[in-house]
Structure 1
Amino acid sequence: MSFDNIRRIASRDYDLWAQLGRGRAVLDTPEKLDQYLYSYGPMTKAQWRTLLSELSLIPEPIEIIDYGCGQGLATALLFDHFGDDFIKSVQKVVLIEPSEVALRRAGAIISCYSADQFQVETINKTMDAIDAEDLLGKTGILTNHIFSNVLDIDGYDHFKLLEKIFQRKGRHCILAVSHDRSFEGGSSRFKDLETAVCDPQYSEWFTVQQTQIWQFECGNGKPAIAWVLEIEVIDGSF
């Protein structure tokens, strides 16, 4: 299983690009999923290749939560980049997605990577419908939160979502990447969240260990924005 093989198998042009909502629509048919792979697969790979090249993840017990996961492409790229030692350190992957058909495919894809090494949990919800209880897991391990072309989308309360994430004590790492744009949500949502997280009034609840936002051009020449946040939640009651 690999991202490239997923595209080789399922990427097809059904002339449905106009129904993808510039990559932000909730896809409700397998044909639209295939069209997304065809139309936006190269962009997704280019974005995550740039972001992941800046990271050095040490294999340790972790859980992954992929928000608005679509077909699970970002998690697949994470596994492809860091390889078997990283995959063996994963204890659970939670896939959250409002499209039932996309969620079924994501679950199948990530289960192929698992080979029964880790648990795969699927949650069919919109971003605003996510509960803090959906995000609970083992204490004492790192949780990686994945946002692939999701954090920039308007129509949900990104501040409330972050509050729900930080109800869980322990170490968190947010990995987010999106197209760099200034309309319909856009890159300002990254910067607004970073400003809120770094506000000194929250220092009694969590410690920011690293935060970095950078803008770049992907290999396909498209502008992108990424955010890496490492944080430890001391008291999840804020």
Structure 2
Amino acid sequence: MNPSSQIRFFDNIYRPRTGRLQVPFDNLDGGTRVLSEEAECDRYIALYGGHHFHKLYAAFPSTNFDYTSGKSVEIIDWGCGQAIATCVLIDYLIEKRINPKIVSITLIEPSSIALWRGYNFVRQMLQANLSSYSIIKTVNKHIDYLEFSDFVSSDSNIKIHLFSNIIDVEGFDLNKLYNLIINCFQGINRVVCTSPYQSARNYRIDTFYNMFCEYPQVKNPFHSDKAISQPIFNVLSGQFETWKIARYERQFTVNL
């Protein structure tokens, strides 16, 4: 892969939208609102895209995705918004020259406009030579309303589940989510959960992880609550500045 020939998340999706943000601005209920307009989608990326990017880039080395090279992989992006997590994972694979066969990408999101934009962003990220044969499936539903029939998965594929700034959001049932995963995704599953550090809501990520601990096949767990310092767009100054980004993260692999 030639990284220079690819669309990159930070430079081609995040950075252009920071210039469109004007003060005063609506923070979209701290990033938890179901978006309904194009302008809200751009605002979300400008406000939170850099945080997503850096938290995910800090998380991915702990999975060591080298093992996916040449393997068939499914990506499931839960509460995906504009598919930022999937875009950043593809970006990471491009930079590290890791070449899985991405057979499918499932994007799950209640906002139809965010989902459509996410679908198009993912198509752009995949355009050169990573996986032109990938099937991108969109599921326009709230997590609580998902059904087993919404998913098609192969036991032999590696499943990568992305939860970026979603497990910590109260408003959906973790038990329902857990039952969806254990019933729909047999075989090897890598689960990556990242969120802001919020002491009142971090328990949801811990609870979700502990649900899987009944399986002796849970391997390679990783946990971090260490902040990182990275450049993001400062709305007030109108410039990119290095900020301390608080985060809470859990990852693990489970063979179901």
Q: Same fold (TM over 0.5)?
A: yes
Match of 1:73 in 2: 84
The CA RMSD measured in Å over matched residues stands at 1.8
2 CA distance for matches of 1:16 and 1:38?
A: 14
Deviation at 1:19, TM superposition (A): 4.8
- Provide the aligned length of Structure 1 versus Structure 2: 226
State the one-letter code of the partner of 1:230: T
Task: Report how far residue 83 of structure 1 moved.
Answer: 1.3
- Give yes or no for the alignment of 1:150 onto 2:166: yes
Match of 1:102 in 2: 114
The answer for the alignment partner of 1:223 in structure 2 is: 246
Deviation string 1:42-90 (CA, Å, 9 cap, x unpaired) is 2111211211233311212100000111111111111111118545511
Task: Please tell me whether the aligned partners of residues 66 and 145 of structure 1 are also in contact (alpha carbons under 8 angstroms).
Answer: yes
Structure 2 gaps of 5+ residues are 1-6, 230-242
Query: 1:112 is matched with which residue?
Result: 124
Runs of 4+ in 1 over 6 A off after TM superposition: none
How has the CA–CA distance of structure 1 residues 112 and 87 changed in structure 2, closer, same or farther, with 3 Å as cutoff? Answer: farther
Which amino acid in structure 2 is aligned with residue 114 of structure 1? Answer: L
Q: Is residue 204 of structure 2 the alignment partner of residue 193 of structure 1?
A: no
Identify the match of residue 213 of structure 1 among 197, 220, 223: 223
Q: Quick check: 102-111 or 84-93, which moved more? A: 84-93
C-alpha distance in 2 between matches for 1:80 and 1:139? 26
Q: Tell me what 1:23 maps to.
A: 31
Letter in 1 for 2:254: I
> Which range moved further: 212-221 or 13-22?
13-22
Deviation digits for residues 21-59 of structure 1, max 9, x if unmatched? 101111111111111111112211121121123331121
* Whole-Å separation in 2 of the counterparts to 1:70 and 1:108: 12
Determine whether 1:3 maps to 2:9: yes
What pairs up with 1:36-51 in 2 under 5 angstroms? 36-51=44-59
Give the partner amino acid of 1:64.
Answer: I
Deviation digits for residues 125-151 of structure 1 (CA, Å, limit 9, x no counterpart): 001011122233122111101001001
Aligned to 2:198: 181
Distance 1:161 1:76 in 2: 23
Among the aligned pairs, what percent are the same residue?
24
Aligned-partner Cα distance in 2 for 1:51–1:74: 11
Q: Post-superposition shift, 1:227? A: 1.1
Question: Partner amino acid for 1:9?
Answer: P
- Residue 17 of structure 1 deviates from its aligned partner by 4.0
CA contact (8 A) 2:91 2:125 kept: no
SS at match of 1:221: strand
Give the stretch that moved more between structures: 79-88 or 169-178.
Answer: 79-88
What is aligned with 1:140?
156
In structure 2, the CA distance between the partners of 1:152 and 1:16, relative to structure 1 (3 Å rule), is farther
- State yes or no: 1:56 paired with 2:52: no
CA contact (8 A) 2:15 2:46 kept: no
- Contact kept? 2:31, 2:48, Cα under 8 Å: yes
